Structure 1
Amino acid sequence: MKTRNWMSILWPAFLLASAAELLVFALVDPGDLHWRGEAVGLSRQAVYAAGFFAFWLLAIGSSALTLLLTRPASEINNPED
């Protein structure tokens, strides 16, 4: 994949993950998170980091799908060009 395509995927995904991180953790305290009835055994920073990377991966998938769906048919049918 071209560098431009990667940046078209990663940069908007990064911005969306940053905004989602701000929004979610403005409303949710990582210290109060529970999983299956037990407290999550991670530090606040670890929860922030895991949340950011989870949001980033979801946004990367969305951006990649958008880029794939906007490709012209000629580019899809003739990938060697």
Structure 2
Amino acid sequence: MQEIPLIQRFIAILWPSFLTSGVATILFFTAFDPQQLLMYTDFAEMSRLGAYTVGFFLFWILTTVTSALTCYFRQPCDEANHKT
């Protein structure tokens, strides 16, 4: 069986997580105003656009980790393959 190229594995993780983080950012900031969320923090002077950007990258990190874990855990175990 042919090995999947490394770049293709990275793209298989990053592209779906990018799309999912975009949707998550839209849904989150539709429900919550960034100015209200940041009002009582040290980042109160951050603009809405800055909050949207930080939120998007945080969602992207979260969804990248979950996509990577999904790809990792969907691989068959070596022990299970050798038992049969």
Please say which structure displays the higher CA radius of gyration.
2
Structure 1 runs of 4+ off > 3 angstroms?
none
Distance in 1 between residues matched to 2:8 and 2:55, nearest whole Å: 27
Gapped runs of 5+ residues in structure 2? Answer: 79-84
Deviation at residue 7 of structure 1 after TM alignment: 0.6
TM-score by length of 2: 0.77
**What is the aligned-residue RMSD (CA, Å)?**
1.8
Whether 1:62 aligns to 2:66 is yes
Q: How does 1:1-81 map to 2 (within 5 A)?
A: 2-34=6-38, 37-38=40-41, 40-74=44-78
Gapped runs of 5+ residues in structure 1? Answer: 75-81
Distance in 2 between residues matched to 1:34 and 1:46, nearest whole Å: 11
User: Which protein is richer in strand relative to its size?
Assistant: 1
What's the % identity of the aligned pairs?
Answer: 36
Distance in 1 between residues matched to 2:13 and 2:62, nearest whole Å: 11
Distance in 2 between residues matched to 1:34 and 1:18, nearest whole Å: 20
- Which amino acid counterpart does residue 36 of structure 2 have in structure 1? D
SS in 2 for 1:6: helix
Distance in 2 between residues matched to 1:31 and 1:73, nearest whole Å: 47
Deviation at residue 41 of structure 1 after TM alignment: 2.2
SS in 1 for 2:21: helix
